[in-house]
Amino acid sequence: MKPVAIFRHTESEGPGHIATFLGQQHIPYTLIRIDAGDSVPTSPEAYAGLVFMGGPMSVNDELPWIPHSLNLIRQAVDLDIPLLGHCLGGQLMAKALGGVVSRNRVKEIGWGAVQVLDNAEAHTWFGDVTGFESFHWHGETFTIPDGAVRILESPYCANQAYALGKHLGMQCHVEMTEAMIRTWCANGADEIARSDSPAVQQPQTILDLMPRHLGQLTQAADRLYSRWIRGLHG
């Protein structure tokens, strides 16, 4: 089958668990390293699906690759090629589809509860799961694009995920691995120290909570990814 394209925007925010999951399902993937100068493809037709990872930049920044990514996302929707966005990736999808990305009322960093909304689309993606402790690292938020359905929320950010048919955009990070969490805590210690947000945890707190929450997060990711791959093109 065609490979899934995974877009990495910074070295420390790689595919994480989505790469492990695709490997377990024997689904090939190609890593497109935007941070290393790889070009955004001009068409999505060579891929079974497109996965967009996170990054420290804003989708509103004037970066040369962003317009190309937005155009690729719109093409994929037109061709019914499934999209999956994590944090920045969900924001890219939202902006490409007519939504607005702006500052969230507070920054969210670390573990935080998310609630699954009680609607048919949410049940399609989450089954009987009503909530879980997700991982967060963002200061911006998206509006829900026209035609999409909001399926996940948190106390500090109402729009945590939306679905549009076979496409899924998320604000939270379900793709986390232990190695990624440790790296982000080390790299982001200064950002955490500068924040006075009630939704920002200290690095040691994040690490202390990891054994309790990471397994449940991975289970939630597996459920979402299992639903998403059903829409892959051959």
Q: What would the pLDDT profile of 177-232 be if each residue is shown by its tens digit?
A: 999 999 999 999 999 999 999 999 999 999 999 999 999 999 999 999 999 999 99
Local confidence band at 233 (pLDDT 50, 70, 90 cut-offs): confident
Q: Give the pLDDT of residue 27.
A: 98
Q: Are 37 and 61 in contact (CB under 8 A)?
A: no
Q: Are 232 and 1 in contact (CB under 8 A)?
A: yes
The pLDDT of residue 13 is above 90? yes
Q: DSSP secondary-structure letter at 200?
A: B
Q: What percentage of residues in the chain have a pLDDT greater than 70?
A: 100
Each residue of 83-100: pLDDT tens digit?
Answer: 999 999 999 999 999 999
Residue with tokens 């982001």: 188
The pLDDT of residue 159 is above 80? yes
Each residue of 206-218: pLDDT tens digit?
Answer: 999 999 999 999 9
Local confidence band at 26 (pLDDT 50, 70, 90 cut-offs): very high
Q: How far is CA 18 from CA 4, 43, 110, 211, 229, in A?
A: 11, 22, 19, 19, 11
Each residue of 109-141: pLDDT tens digit?
Answer: 999 999 999 999 999 999 999 999 999 999 999
Q: Give the pLDDT of residue 182.
A: 98
The pLDDT of residue 47 is above 90? yes
Q: Are 38 and 69 in contact (CB under 8 A)?
A: no
- Please say whether the structural domain 4-229 has been given the CATH code 3.40.50.880: yes
- In angstroms, the CA 158 to CA 179 distance is 28
Arithmetic mean of pLDDT, 133-161: 98
- Name the 3-class secondary structure at 212: helix
Q: Give the pLDDT of residue 81.
A: 98
Q: Give the pLDDT of residue 218.
A: 98
Per-domain residue ranges of the chain: 4-229
H-only helix segments in 43-169: 66-79, 88-96, 120-126
Arithmetic mean of pLDDT, 158-164: 98
The pLDDT of residue 234 is above 80? no
Task: Report CA dihedral (99, 158, 85, 150) to the nearest 10 degrees.
Answer: -70
